[in-house]
Amino acid sequence: MTCLHSHTWAQRVAGHRPYPDVPSLLAAADEAAYDLSTEDLTEALAAESMPAFPEDTYSAAHTALNAAQAAYETKFGHVFVVCLDGVPAQESLDHVLEAIRSRLANDPEEERSVVADELRGLAKQRLRHTLRGAGNCATSH
């Protein structure tokens, strides 16, 4: 649940244990996230928050981000999520701003599909991080 706050997803992943290796777990996590219902996505989105940015990020960027995030939440009714896996920290704010602005042009059904993809990426990223912390995953992504 800490990787993706969806009971359906967690039950699907847990239901196939034990996994023979990390790639099998990540593949199962990815597969479990496909076809989550609107209610499942709503449950997962309710637990999400914006990523943390470096403290020296200038205030104008935060103002722009807050405005874009408010517009997104008004249009789609939930928080904006984006997987920053592989994005250098110094580029994360620009990446988020670019993504949120481009996704504001999506219709709700198209955005639901994008959100599902982003949540899948976040879940896999969090699983990798959790496994590295447990000493079970020595490979990088």
pLDDT one-digit tens code per residue, 85-141? 889 988 888 899 999 999 999 999 999 999 999 999 999 999 999 998 765 433 333
pLDDT at 54: 65
Residue found by looking up tokens 């994360």 in the block: 92
Residue of 88, 87, 89, 69 lying closest to 79 (CA atoms): 69
pLDDT at 115: 95
d(CA 95, CA 110): 20
pLDDT at 57: 61
Q: Is 6 left (phi over 0), alpha (psi -120 to 50) or beta?
A: beta
pLDDT at 53: 67
HSE-up of residue 12 (Cα within 13 Å, Cβ side):
18
pLDDT at 35: 82
d(CA 23, CA 28): 9
pTM of the model: 0.78
